[in-house]
Amino acid sequence: MTEADEHTTAVLVVGGGITGLSTALFLTRLGVRPLLVERHPSTAILPQARAFNPRSLEIYRPLGLEEEIRAHESILADFPEMIGAETLAGEERFRFDLLAHVRPPAGVSPVDWAMIDQDELERIVRAAAEGGGADVRFGTELVSLDADGGDEGVRAVVRDLESGTELRVRADYVVAADGHRAGIRERLDIGVDQPGPLSHAVYFVFDADLTDSLRGRRFLLAYLDEPVIGTVLVPLREAGRWMLGVPYYPELGEGPGDFSERRCAELARLAVGVADLDLTLVPPVPGWPQKVSHSTGGGWVAHRFSSGRVLFAGDAAHVVPPSGSYGANTGIADAHNLAWKLAAVIRGQAGPALLDTYEQERRPVARVTLDQAMRLLRVRYEGSADELAAMDELSMILGYRYDSAAISAETPAPDGPVEDPRVPSGRPGLRAPHVWLERDGAQLSTIDLCAGAFTLLTGPDGGDWRAVAGAAAASLGVEVDVHRAGVDLGDPEERFLGAFGIGPAGASLVRPDGFVAWRAEAGPERPESESAFGRALARILSRDATG
């Protein structure tokens, strides 16, 4: 290779799963065109996540993707149910609606869950990222990474797996979204917190007519006791196609190599409970040579979410058991938190220290999410329906709180890591509450209004804030959109002031990722408020107040 072969990019994203693809998409919408490499020839090889929570939809919706996501919701969306039985043909031991306790009430979010398979969502996000100018290269692997380049950035080598051609890459930043095996994090010698790996399973897809065993039933997921307790049977989109996950135990000397296709066919017959079931194992994607995959489940959080100019996101930074549908959704939220910070630093609008707030904000969220997922796992297996109902998952999804230099903290400090989004306080550090406003007679959520740019929302008597925000934004070279609720925008339900916790002349500054960064309960008094607002904005952007 010669120097001429070197490709220069602001951001190299490693991994084309939902976290990497979302990072690429969010960056393109902020004017940064990353290079993304993914070793697989195509998007996800199995559906994996099938339930995307309202926060993920709130993130994709302002980008115009909700309609397409809804159009690709699974035909099983009307049956978000989990069942338990010894075998599929046997008696059902339990059945419950996975979303019964986690659907947001109407006033809490403009969106509901989306029951879309992860591979379908990845296709949509990939197309949108490519449409926005991201250079997305599947079938391309990261071969080496030199993260010690200092101001020179990161040097990497990537290889096209079909042609074998290598390309040298110099990137200002690398987002390591390379999944739970976390090759980059491991290379950089960054360890993880407990509990660690908890389970191992083999997965395979098979075609079979299970009409008799189903007896007219439909479900999203079946937990079966045969051939091993914890076996999972999942109906796929194609009629008559199934995925089976069977736990194995390394401590008993078992390993993925023990699961031949023939043995897997036998395991599927045991799980269904029909000894002579006619079935065929199929590759998870056409042409894929391997029909049996394996994975390690459990829970861990990386000790650090970055190393110099390399930032870890998604499963590369944290893994949670699939008990609360948190895995993929947490990766999307990481990508969303990171993308605006990267874009602001790359565009010179923020100081590099803004990137330190990524770990300060996302690592604690990963930790409480993991704790919640572990509790949920225990309650599902050993607890009661009442205990399950008492777990406040909605607060975990929509009410987690950030505490970092990119948030203007208020005193007294609030209690606990989450707040109930049903009774929002509007405090800095929390997701800006959803309130229906009105523009030109059309309904508009504050969630859609405060997306992709700094937004200052003021009360009806807060007209003076426009000049204050304009002066501060101009001196720092950033854009701040200003809207006056009750004047520029209708507030038909009269919820705005209460939800944001400000008076009629107050203002709330929302970051490009939809989190409240600062607020003033009352109106501006110049010049004090002007400089207070300017100082707050400069601090949020890790700039000194003079810019």
Active site residues: 223
Site string for ligand FAD, 283-302 (x = CB under 6 A): ------------x-------
Binding residue (CB under 6 A) for ligand FAD from 29, 38, 271, 485: 38
Binding residue (CB under 6 A) for ligand FAD from 11, 29, 50, 459: 50
- Cβ(293)–Cβ(45) below 8 Å: yes
Binding residue (CB under 6 A) for ligand FAD from 12, 37, 264, 396: 37
424 contacts ligand FAD (rule: CB under 6 A): no
Residues contacting residue 163 through CB under 8 Å, at least 6 positions apart: none
Q: What's the min distance (Å) between Cβ of 202 and ligand FAD?
A: 11
Binding residue (CB under 6 A) for ligand FAD from 58, 81, 178, 491: 178
H/E stretch holding 520 reads strand 516-520
Interface with ligand FAD by CB under 6 A: which range of 47-55, 85-93, 261-269, 492-500?
47-55
CB nearer ligand FAD, residue 342 or residue 538 = 342
d(C-alpha 464, C-alpha 506), whole Å: 10
81 contacts ligand FAD (rule: CB under 6 A): no
Joined together, the tokens standing for residue 521 give 């309960």
Residues contacting residue 299 through CB under 8 Å, at least 6 positions apart: 195, 196, 198, 319, 320, 321, 370, 373, 374
Q: What's the min distance (Å) between Cβ of 142 and ligand FAD?
A: 4
Residue 357's identity, in one-letter code, is T
d(C-alpha 305, C-alpha 326), whole Å: 18
d(C-alpha 412, C-alpha 427), whole Å: 11
321 contacts ligand FAD (rule: CB under 6 A): no
20 contacts ligand FAD (rule: CB under 6 A): yes
Q: What's the min distance (Å) between Cβ of 30 and ligand FAD?
A: 19
Task: Establish how many alpha carbons lie within 13 A of residue 141's alpha carbon, considering only the half-sphere containing its beta carbon.
Answer: 11
328 contacts ligand FAD (rule: CB under 6 A): yes
Binding residue (CB under 6 A) for ligand FAD from 133, 183, 308, 470: 183
Q: Kindly give the interhelix angle for 327-346 and 18-29, rounded to the nearest 10 degrees.
A: 30
Q: Nearest Cα to 95, choosing from 221, 215, 186? A: 221
Q: Which residue has the tokens 């996975």?
A: 98
235 contacts ligand FAD (rule: CB under 6 A): no
Residue 53's identity, in one-letter code, is N
Q: Nearest Cα to 337, choosing from 26, 10, 9, 12? A: 26
- Cβ(428)–Cβ(420) below 8 Å: no
Taking CB under 6 A as the criterion, which residues in 442-471 touch ligand FAD?
A: none
357 contacts ligand FAD (rule: CB under 6 A): no
Taking CB under 6 A as the criterion, which residues in 102-121 touch ligand FAD?
A: 118
Binding residue (CB under 6 A) for ligand FAD from 80, 132, 284, 331: 331
Q: Which residue has the tokens 């690709």?
A: 72
CB nearer ligand FAD, residue 15 or residue 523 = 15
d(C-alpha 492, C-alpha 276), whole Å: 63
Interface with ligand FAD by CB under 6 A: which range of 16-24, 148-156, 347-355, 399-407?
16-24
CB nearer ligand FAD, residue 142 or residue 520 = 142
Binding residue (CB under 6 A) for ligand FAD from 141, 172, 226, 359: 141
Q: Return the DSSP state at 103.
A: P
Taking CB under 6 A as the criterion, which residues in 478-537 touch ligand FAD?
A: none
314 contacts ligand FAD (rule: CB under 6 A): yes
Interface with ligand FAD by CB under 6 A: which range of 38-46, 89-97, 164-172, 347-355?
38-46
- Cβ(166)–Cβ(158) below 8 Å: yes
Q: What's the min distance (Å) between Cβ of 84 and ligand FAD?
A: 17
Binding residue (CB under 6 A) for ligand FAD from 321, 322, 421, 426: 322
Q: Return the DSSP state at 434.
A: P
Interface with ligand FAD by CB under 6 A: which range of 187-195, 328-336, 409-417, 434-442?
328-336
β-strand pairing of 292-301 with 196-207:
antiparallel
Binding residue (CB under 6 A) for ligand FAD from 25, 35, 51, 344: 51
Query: 293 forms bridges with which residues in the sheet?
Result: 203
Q: Where are the alpha helices (DSSP H) in 252-352?
A: 261-272, 327-346
Residue 214 buriedness (CB in 10 A; 0-12 / 13-18 / 19+): middle
| Residues lying near ligand FAD in the complex (CB under 6 A) | 14-20, 37-40, 48-51, 118, 141-142, 177-180, 183, 245, 295, 314-315, 322, 325-329, 331
